[in-house]
Amino acid sequence: MANLPPSTGDRNTQTIVCSFCEDIILRPQTATFTSKSVLLPQMKVDKTSSDNNRTESNHLSVNGSDHPCDTLESFWLVSDMFTFENVGFSNTVNNQTKYLVCANCERGPIGFSPINPTTKQLEKEFYVAIDRIKYK
Q: So what's the pLDDT on residue 45?
A: 53
Assigned domain for 3 exists: no
Kindly state whether residue 94 falls inside one of the protein's structural domains. yes
**Looking at the predicted structure, is the pLDDT value of residue 19 above 90?**
yes
Q: Is residue 9 part of a domain?
A: no
What is the span of the domain harbouring residue 126?
Answer: 16-42+58-135
Alpha-carbon torsion, ordered 71, 73, 79, 85, to 10 deg: -70
State how far the Cα of 103 lies from the Cα of 7, in Å rounded to an integer. Answer: 28
Residue 110 in domain: yes
Q: What is the pLDDT of residues 66-104, one digit of tens each?
A: 889 999 999 999 999 999 999 999 999 888 999 999 999
- Interval 48-57: pLDDT, tens: 444 444 444 5
Confirm if 112 and 92 have CB atoms less than 8 A apart.
no
* 108 within some domain: yes
Which CATH number belongs to the domain containing residue 128 in this structure?
Answer: 2.170.150.10
Instruction: Report yes or no on 97 lying in a domain.
Output: yes
Q: How many domains does the chain have?
A: 1
pLDDT score at 57: 56
Looking at every residue in the chain, the average pLDDT score rounds to 86
pLDDT for residue 82 = 96
